[in-house]
Amino acid sequence: MNLYFSEGEIFIWKKDQDYHSNPLSLSLRMQKESYRMPNKQGMIAKDIYTASTYFVKVLFCNDMDSVYVEKESKVQLFSPFIVRIYGGMLDQEHHRFITVMEYIPEHDLSDLLYQNGIAGDSWKEKMRVRHRIATKFLYGIDYYMSIYEEDPIVHRDLKPENLMVSPDGSLVKIVDFDWVHLHDSSHTVTLRREQKGTPGYADPAYWNQYICKQTMDIYSAGLVLFFLYTGHHHFHGNDEIQRYMMDPDYAYRLKDMPGVDPEIHKMIAKMIAPEAERYQQIKEIIKDWKAYLMSKGLWEDIPEILEEEEEDTIRFSYEIGDVIYRPYLKPCRFLPIEYGTHQERSQNGRVSGHIMSFYRLEDRIKAVILHEDCHPVLVRNTESVSEGDIYSYAGTQIKVLQIGRRS
Ligand SMILES: Nc1ncnc2c1ncn2[C@@H]1O[C@H](COP(=O)(O)OP(=O)(O)O)[C@@H](O)[C@H]1O
Ligand SMILES: [Mg+2]
């Protein structure tokens, strides 16, 4: 018998400990059930002390082995385009695994397109929003694939339902990681979960196999982009799904996308091509994608994405409360994450820490403070960061001490 949470129930959630995390415990009031399935449940919950809202995912498992891997999923992903997961708790007594993550108050891409639709008064405006969503989606994939170069994380279930988006594309987050291919010190864990990928989105060559390759995610991502730009699934209905399973000529050939630039069609076609002709790396896609948007003058529409020039680093130091950060000293209370350019995550707070993010704009640095879940909370409308500047957020003062150019 599964013990589902009921609305109104209070549950003390304690994060399973690993060697590098602080003890974390939350007193959660279960507010609203988001979904219930035979083996899982989604709940919106509120911390009774701080009133912060979280999303709680419960996985019921009589066979404790399959939960084991979720327990192993200690990789923390810090990207604005990936849901922020705070941790998991194995409730052995009730045979359930409880993951707490940031609550995303938006629809998934499937609901969005079938219900309210993409924001914008004209086709052109809607197109801009689609580019914005597509670009952030690709950067989210690049983020998790780049963490372990030799043993990349693969999502394995990219599809519109696993992409949360706001109608104007300001928020885009990938959810529902399978954690199937995690690099933990030197060993790889394989999760034996009943379902691996979704028909119509998974690469049929690897359907139901214990194989993990980046090209699988690239294939699924291509079909998600098709859905984003056309508003319908590439493979639709029983007959098409059957044919896609059986016939490679059908599974790997992109349908027409009326009204969509042929250059976009070409890139998506290469994402779902037979594996040998497919894009092998997400970075190659991003390179082509960016070049396309730049050639059309559309890249500036996505100011959230700023890339770092490798050479000629600007060094800086700053102080948060009584913690001083200097790049040369490397105090261990900061974790670099990728958002724009340099970014440091303050670990002073527990769940509600903030992130000081620095953008490189040619020879200047701009700063933004992000909430832990990566939405901007303070964007200073100044040209650039100067020594002595003070940023205040949630009672914390952040002072820029020094900026210098590395020779
Ligand atoms: N962090 C979240 N905040 C709000 N809603 C979420 C969140 N994560 C998932 N959901 C919603 O719940 C649905 C199922 O969650 P998901 O993690 O994809 O689990 P499943 O394994 O059941 O597909 C998603 O499609 C989305 O609509
Ligand atoms: Mg899902």
Mutate to test the pocket of ligand 1, among 34, 39, 113, 372 (most ligand atoms within 8 A of CB): 34
Residue 349: pLDDT band with limits 50, 70, 90: very low
CA distance 286 to 100: 31
Q: % helix / strand / coil in the chain, to the nearest 5?
A: 25, 30, 45
In the chain, the percentage of residues whose pLDDT exceeds 90 is 44
CATH topology of domain 314-405: Tumour Suppressor Smad4 (2.60.200)
Give, to the nearest 10 degrees, the angle between helix 282-295 and helix 123-146. Answer: 150
Domain segments of the chain as ranges: 10-102, 107-301, 314-405
Residue 155: pLDDT band with limits 50, 70, 90: confident
Is the shortest distance between the CB of 104 and ligand 1 below 6 Å? yes
Residue with tokens 């379902």: 195
CA distance 350 to 126: 38
For the domain 10-102, what is the CATH superfamily, name and number? Phosphorylase Kinase; domain 1 (3.30.200.20)
> Across the chain, which distance is largest between two alpha carbons, in Å?
65
Residue 288: pLDDT band with limits 50, 70, 90: very high
> In this model, does residue 394 exceed pLDDT 70?
no
Token readout for 35 is: 């979904």
CATH architecture of 107-301: Orthogonal Bundle (1.10)
* Least trusted range by pLDDT, from 208-212, 256-260, 267-271: 208-212
* CA 228–ligand 1 middle distance (angstroms): 18
* Of residues 359 and 52, more confidently modeled: 52
* Residues paired with residue 56 on neighbouring β-strands, in sequence order: 43, 100
pTM of the model: 0.79
Give, to the nearest 10 degrees, the angle between helix 123-146 and helix 214-230. Answer: 170
> In this model, does residue 22 exceed pLDDT 50?
yes
Is the shortest distance between the CB of 106 and ligand 1 below 6 Å? no
Token readout for 96 is: 């359930």
In the chain, the percentage of residues whose pLDDT exceeds 70 is 66
Query: Rounded mean pLDDT of the chain?
Result: 78
